[in-house]
């Protein structure tokens, strides 16, 4: 059942030529619209294989339509921003998304209370 709401996010330049206080291009977080997803478990084999590569998968989601994902680097679920480790297209146009490094921060806070 696809009862969870997720958002995809990426960092994009604010304006061409604009710099931050360190002289780097200024970036802002761009967040997609809501996407319904299903939480899946990280399998034991998948977990240990990722560990050997220095990664720690924490959560996996499955979305109904792979077209909802446009290559973003982050996924936000319940105000926690995860980095996307890997995507895998399954049958019937579904996409499985494995994430790691859940960080709760103000920039990731999205509320669905008004929806």
Determine how β-strand 4-13 pairs with β-strand 74-77.
antiparallel
**Mean pLDDT for the stretch of residues 5-26:** 87
**DSSP labels for 19-72?**
B-TTSSBPEEEEE---EEEEEEPPPHHHHHHHHHTT--EEEEEEES-GGG--S-
**Mean pLDDT for the stretch of residues 21-45:** 87
Q: What percent of the chain has pLDDT over 90?
A: 42
Residue 91 pLDDT: 81
pTM of the model: 0.75
């Amino acid at each position: 059942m696809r009862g969870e709401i997720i958002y995809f996010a990426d960092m994009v330049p604010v304006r061409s030529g604009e710099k931050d206080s360190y002289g780097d291009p200024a970036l802002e977080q761009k967040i997609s619209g809501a996407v319904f997803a299903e939480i899946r478990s990280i399998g034991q084999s998948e977990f240990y294989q990722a560990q050997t590569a220095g990664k720690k998968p924490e959560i996996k989601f499955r979305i109904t339509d792979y077209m909802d994902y446009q290559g973003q680097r982050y996924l936000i679920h319940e105000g926690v921003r995860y980095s996307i480790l890997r995507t895998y297209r399954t049958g019937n146009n579904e996409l499985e998304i494995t994430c790691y490094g859940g960080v709760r921060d103000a920039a990731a806070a999205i509320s669905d209370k008004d929806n």
